[in-house]
């Protein structure tokens, strides 16, 4: 799975959870007005803590924890496990629960047999007693099903239908889940937002009606889709919130980034009112699939949490990726391994250096030492045993999604992420924290983040670049990037280019100094990292009042 598909997979549950937690305070209450932004302030039906998600994401996690085992969701084995998880949640975890789901779970508890069959039978019986009972309680948890078979749309549709039918017997509920899960699958694979594309997965006689409902909602004012307890109006409200929200231009100088679409769409979803957390959870699953976890601002990532076991952003990202990988991890055991370590890098502790414009911000490697930071912003993959860092509270260890690559397209939202890292650094500093910014080797991502933070402090771009380089040079003329010499890209490049540019040779990692942590920013590394940093160095970026993420 490539880095952008991985980012988008990670965005599904995270986007859903953020929409849910943002919508919780306004469920069946006065929603925020046009000039107001929803806040994760808790309360609602739970009542919930600030940042806590509700039943929508709780039930989605019941599905996710089974899906992340890589099982086929249409099998009895998988459906029994999900049904058992729903029943257990209903007894021990449900902080609030929809009327239909409550009735179905109660009836299923009083019957015998495999859990999946009991739930399905109870759901069918409920639907036959209550015509037009297609509540939004299946749609609100279906986004994660879009990750279970990324290369198989028919299997995705079968899974969405089977999971929906565990609690919702009305065909409209399952049909809405088929459409939404397919839209998530398409968005994760392609970055496209398509809802009509899944129409052929529905029975032929049902397609025209759904086409009409979707076309009615596309680009429409979402506020007309209320009340939205019905699965059709919930889908319309969520789709209208996404499609009617303009995609911002990329203009870092003005704090404008295309992926702010995710934040804007969720705020619009909550402004619809009525079942705010559910509509925003539905919208968030798809917007997260489109824009990726890297579009979710740091203060949302830091705040979201909930049942079961007080899961946090790391768990949502991990469950999404493992599900998309079919129950496995990548070759480095990421994201579920205890420690993620590259064979390319020497993990000897290396002294961090102070940021040139803030003595309480440190720049370092994954093995940074000699600093007094009590908060961390990590820009590389870490294992479950590495977060939080020693002596750091879990809430003060922020993980950012930043891929170390010369190819800007490897990062879905590069400019936004750099501004968001700067915002996170500023936010933690405002709370009195001393912050370590680190990646693996501090060659590219860490200095880029250091410059982004300097830019946020108002330092002109060229001055910021020069100052970061001077911070390195104060520690000596040669570099020690920590990369094993045989695997050092600079050394390889230096050797190859030695004849043409003799300056490269003495800067190579063969000259190891234990006290220098920022690898040379001059010569090839400087060009690489300037290419990575690109346009984000050219403007005020996150200082702009238009940057929601920095507020
Ligand atoms: Mg809810």
At 225-276, the pLDDT tens digits run 999 999 999 999 999 999 999 999 999 889 999 999 999 999 999 999 999 9
**For residue 408, what pLDDT is reported?**
75
Query: CA 60 to CA 67: how far, in whole Å?
Result: 10
Distance 47 CA to ligand 1 centre (A): 11
d(CA 323, CA 67): 6
- Centre of ligand 1 to C-alpha 281, Å, is 8
3-state secondary structure 137-173: CCHHHCHHHHHCCCCCHHHHHHHHHHHHCCCCCCHHH
The pLDDT score that the predictor gives to residue 472 is 63
Alpha carbon of 43 to ligand 1 centroid (Å): 11
pLDDT digits (tens, 9 = 90+) for 420-472: 999 999 999 999 999 999 998 887 888 889 989 998 999 987 888 888 877 76
pLDDT digits (tens, 9 = 90+) for 420-433: 999 999 999 999 99
Q: Tell me the pLDDT tens digit for each residue of 305-348.
A: 999 999 999 999 999 999 999 999 988 899 999 999 887 777 88
Residue 487 confidence (pLDDT): 52
Determine if residue 307 is left, alpha or beta; phi over 0 gives left, psi from -120 to 50 gives alpha, anything else beta: beta
First to last CA, the chain: 33
Architecture per CATH, domain 350-550, reads as Alpha-Beta Complex (3.90)
pLDDT at 115 over 50: yes
Mean pLDDT estimate for the chain:
87
3-324: CATH superfamily: ADP-ribosylation/Crystallin J1 (1.10.4080.10)
Cα(51) to centroid of ligand 1, in Å?
13
CA of 42 to the centre of ligand 1 (A): 12
How far is ligand 1, taken at its centre, from the CA of residue 141, in Å? 10
Residues whose beta carbons lie less than 5 angstroms from ion ligand 1? 54-56, 277
Burial class (CB in 10 A: 0-12, 13-18, 19+), 249: exposed
Q: Quote the tokens at residue 141.
A: 């948890």
Give the E-state strand segments of 402-521 in sequence order: 435-438
Radius of gyration of the chain (CA): 24
CA of 27 to the centre of ligand 1 (A): 8
Distant-in-sequence, close-in-space partners of 335: CB < 8 Å, separation ≥ 6: 314, 317, 318, 321, 322, 329, 381, 384
Ligand 1 geometric centre to CA of 198 (Å): 26
* pLDDT-based confidence at residue 499 (cuts at 50, 70, 90): very low
- Average pLDDT on 132-154 reads 96
**Ligand 1 centroid from CA 55, angstroms:** 5
Q: What percent of the chain has pLDDT over 90?
A: 74
Q: Tokens for 13, please give them.
A: 């549950």
d(CA 286, CA 513): 48
Distance, CA 521 to ligand 1 centroid (Å)?
A: 49
Distance in Å, CA 89 to ligand 1 centroid: 14
User: How far apart are the C-alpha atoms of 258 and 530, rounded to whole Å?
Assistant: 21
DSSP code per residue over 210-231: HHHHHHHHTTS-GGGS-S--BH
Separation of alpha carbons 155 and 152, rounded Å: 5
* Residue range(s) occupied by CATH 3.90.190.10 in the chain: 350-550
User: Is the per-residue pLDDT at 494 higher than 90?
Assistant: no
Dist. CA 234 → ligand 1 center (Å): 13
Sign of the C-alpha dihedral, residues 67, 190, 402, 487?
positive
Cα–chain center distance at 93: 24
Q: What is the structure's pLDDT at 413? A: 94
pLDDT at 347: 82
- Where are the CATH 1.10.4080.10 domain residues in the chain? 3-324
370: left (phi over 0), alpha (psi -120 to 50) or beta: left
Distance 348 CA to ligand 1 centre (A): 47
Statement: residue 527 has pLDDT above 60: no
> How would you write 109-126 as a 3-class SS string?
HCCCCCHHHHHHHHHHHH
Q: Using pLDDT thresholds of 50, 70 and 90, give the confidence band for residue 473.
A: low
pLDDT tens for residues 156-205?
999 999 999 999 999 999 999 999 999 999 999 999 999 999 999 999 99
Cα 21 to ligand 1 centre (Å): 9
């Amino acid at each position: 799975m490539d880095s952008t598909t991985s980012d988008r997979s990670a965005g599904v549950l995270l986007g859903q959870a953020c929409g849910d937690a943002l919508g919780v305070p306004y469920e069946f209450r006065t929603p925020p007005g046009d000039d107001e932004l929803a806040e994760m302030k808790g309360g609602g039906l739970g009542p919930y803590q600030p940042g806590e998600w509700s039943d929508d994401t709780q039930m989605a996690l019941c599905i996710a924890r089974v899906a992340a085992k890589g099982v086929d969701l249409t099998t009895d084995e998988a459906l029994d496990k999900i049904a058992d998880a729903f029943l257990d949640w209903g007894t021990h975890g449900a902080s609030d629960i929809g009327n239909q789901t409550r009735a179905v779970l109660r009836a299923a508890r009083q019957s015998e047999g495999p859990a999946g069959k009991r739930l399905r039978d109870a759901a069918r019986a409920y639907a036959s007693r209550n015509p037009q009972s297609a509540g939004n309680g299946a749609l609100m948890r279906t986004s994660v099903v879009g990750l279970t078979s990324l290369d198989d749309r028919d299997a995705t549709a079968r899974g969405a239908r089977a999971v929906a039918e565990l609690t919702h017997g009305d065909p409209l509920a399952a049909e809405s889940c088929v459409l939404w899960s397919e839209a998530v699958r398409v968005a994760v694979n392609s970055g496209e937002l398509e809802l009509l594309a899944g129409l052929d997965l529905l029975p032929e006689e049902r397609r025209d009606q759904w086409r009409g409902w979707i076309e009615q909602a596309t680009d429409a004012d979402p506020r007309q889709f209320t009340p939205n307890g019905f699965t059709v109006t919930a889908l319309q409200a969520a789709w209208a919130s996404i499609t009617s929200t303009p995609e911002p231009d990329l203009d870092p100088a003005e704090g404008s980034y295309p992926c702010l679409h995710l934040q804007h769409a969720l705020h619009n979803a909550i402004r619809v009112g009525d079942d705010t957390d559910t509509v925003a959870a539905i919208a968030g699953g798809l917007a997260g699939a489109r824009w990726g976890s890297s579009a979710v601002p740091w203060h949302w990532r830091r705040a979201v949490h909930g049942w079961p076991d007080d899961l946090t952003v790391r768990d949502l990202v991990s469950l999404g990726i493992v599900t998309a990988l079919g129950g496995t991890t990548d070759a480095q055991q990421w994201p579920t391994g205890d420690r993620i370590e590259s064979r390319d890098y020497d993990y000897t502790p290396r002294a961090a250096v102070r940021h040139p414009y803030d003595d309480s911000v440190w720049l370092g490697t994954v093995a940074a030492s000699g600093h007094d930071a009590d908060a961390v912003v990590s820009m590389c993959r870490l294992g479950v045993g590495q977060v939080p860092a020693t002596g750091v509270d879990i809430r003060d260890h922020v993980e950012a999604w930043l891929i170390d690559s010369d190819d800007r397209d490897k990062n879905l939202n590069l400019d936004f992420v750099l501004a968001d890292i700067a915002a996170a650094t500023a936010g933690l500093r405002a709370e009195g924290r001393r912050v370590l910014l680190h990646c693996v080797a501090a060659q590219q991502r860490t200095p880029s983040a250091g410059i982004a933070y300097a830019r946020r402090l108002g330092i002109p771009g060229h001055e910021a670049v020069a100052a970061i380089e001077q911070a390195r040079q104060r520690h000596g003329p040669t570099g020690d990037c920590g990369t094993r010499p045989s695997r050092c890209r600079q050394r390889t490049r230096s050797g190859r280019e030695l004849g043409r540019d003799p300056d490269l040779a003495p800067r190579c990692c063969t000259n190891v100094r234990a006290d220098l942590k920022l690898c040379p920013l001059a010569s090839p590394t400087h060009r690489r990292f300037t290419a990575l940093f690109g346009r984000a160095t050219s403007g005020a970026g996150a200082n702009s009042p238009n940057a929601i993420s920095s507020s």
